[in-house]
Amino acid sequence: MNRITSTAQRVLKQLRHDRRTMALLMIVPVFLMALVSWIFPQPVFDRIGLSMLGIFPFITMFLVTSIATLRERQSGTLERLLSMPMRKVDFIIGYQLAFAVLSLLQSLIAVGVAVWWLNLQFAGPKWMAIVVAMSVAQLGTALGLALSALAQTEFQAVQFLPAVIIPQLFLCGLFVPRDSLNHILQPISNLLPLSYAVDVLNGVSAQATLSSEVWWKFGVIWAFVVGCVVIGSLTLKRRSI
């Protein structure tokens, strides 16, 4: 446990001094939410706004995590850490814990701005919106950790955005209801983690008392998080060659 917390503390200390990354994590999602609210009329913003509260942190956490992990390998930091009594799973969980702290802060800021400044209206409890937004951000973190092992350069890490994230945006039900997708795309949509995230956020938006189906899909999100953490701990490389 000490190895996990020390890793989390080290990551948080590094990010605290990285102003650009902190701006990307804390300010960009809020700016994008404001942009969406200014572009669309209030009824449309109320319908899609809560989904955006999950999608924007998902994307930013994915990018930051995948690149940060790659830098640890390129600089030799990861190799030095793993030469000590630290396992790969300790490193992965430590990263996940550090970004859990950041995603909680990010979710509090984003939901607070959306509700009390942009006047986003939804039926579900506000605390649940924060919990789900944080969970989706954790999903982006875990996915970034799992896929970072496949990249050898930062350019390759960024290429995962159009290859992995953008297809999920098209198939998650944000633009077209998933039931309206053709018979080939529906099964693919059912396998994508972001689809369940959007379903849960839509449930929070529409239901004052969340149904068992919404809770089940919320559990699926965390099953994906755990699965990605396991994959990341198995595939993590000591360094990029």
The confidence band for 156, taking pLDDT boundaries of 50, 70 and 90, is: confident
- For residue 232, the SS3 value is helix
Condensed to tens digits (0 to 9), the pLDDT of residues 199-236 reads 999 999 988 888 999 999 999 999 999 998 888 888 77
Query: So what's the pLDDT on residue 9?
Result: 86
At 164, is the pLDDT very low, low, confident or very high (cuts 50, 70, 90)? confident
Q: How many CB atoms lie within 10 A of CB 65?
A: 27
Task: Give percent above pLDDT 90 in the chain.
Answer: 37
Give me the DSSP letters along 51-111. Answer: HHHHHHHHHHHHHHHHHHHHHHHHTTHHHHHHTSS--HHHHHHHHHHHHHHHHHHHHHHHH
Domain ranges for the chain: 2-235
Structure tokens at 173: 């039900």
pLDDT score for 130 = 92
